[in-house]
Amino acid sequence: MVFAYAAAILCAVCYGLASVLQSIGARRVEASESIDARSLARIATQIPYLVGLGLDGTAWLLSLLALSRLPLFVVQAMVAGAIGFTVLFAALFQHLRPTGRQVAFILVLASGLLGLALSGAPEEARRTPPAYSWGMWAGVIVIAVIGAVAAKNMRGDKAAAALGCLSGLAFGGTALCARALVADVSISDLRDPLLWGMLAYGALGLIFFASALQRGSVTVATAWLFTAETVVPSIIGLTILGDSARPGFALIAAVSFVVTIVAAVGLTLVSPPME
């Protein structure tokens, strides 16, 4: 169990550093009017972005280790702590020094994430109902359509927030698919639709996050990404996948959800100007 928690914490560190490196690479390419394949291809040639992708892959593998032993909302909450590492690494590599309000909101966010982590009851992953695969694929379509509209019609930090949120939902979808695949012991079965759904969600997450980083602050994009990636999969885990809070910790879990959302919105409102 200690190994699972350690994997989740290291996962957060990797995601935080990856976000900043991807931001550096994405900001080197001028944002297009909409999601454009040529613009995305140019981003993919940037060394910092590629290194960030490698860290993302490492973090994802670590998250699988954690998901095999811990409830979704515990893993996602700890992974969402990457926003704190993002602010730290942004200060080191992009000279975006956190403001006093930012630090305050990060501490509030940390308290919410800690509450979510402590309220989880360690358990094995459980099998999912047959309709689960269809629901996950419906989510792929909905996120793709909304993301395309948002990228075309929004600019600045509003676009970063919207696309970051959609990216978080997509990456949350990969966690939901992975959780089910781990439970079914079919993560290497190429015939399983959840495997392909996981890859589709991953692709959408990368595309929308790169677009968010082109349009606004890395802190805004990352705050909304990790909020969406934490809250939505956690609710699905609790209501569908059989995850549960420790006895007597249900209220703490509920309050921690609200605190996490408020802190992420606060980070969006007080993000420092980009350089």
DSSP state of 98: P
Q: What is the pLDDT of residue 55?
A: 93
Q: Comparing C-alpha atoms, which of 167, 236, 249, 244 is closest to residue 201? A: 167
- The residue behind tokens 């249900």 is 250
Residues 106-163 pLDDT 10s: 888 888 877 877 776 666 556 677 788 889 999 999 999 999 999 888 888 888 889 9
- Length of the chain equals 275
pTM here is 0.73
Q: What is the pLDDT of residue 275?
A: 42
In whole angstroms, what is the distance from residue 8 CA to residue 156 CA? 31
> Chain-wide mean pLDDT for the chain?
81
| Residue 213 structure tokens | 């980083």
Domain ranges of the chain: 2-269
Q: What is the pLDDT of residue 274?
A: 43
Residues 30-70 pLDDT 10s: 766 566 677 778 888 889 889 998 998 899 888 888 877 77
Q: What is the pLDDT of residue 147?
A: 92
In whole angstroms, what is the distance from residue 122 CA to residue 4 CA? 10
Residue percentage of the chain with pLDDT more than 70: 87
- The residue behind tokens 């420790």 is 246
Task: Inform me whether the pLDDT recorded for 258 exceeds 70.
Answer: yes
Residue 95 Ramachandran class (φ > 0 left, ψ -120 to 50 alpha, else beta):
left
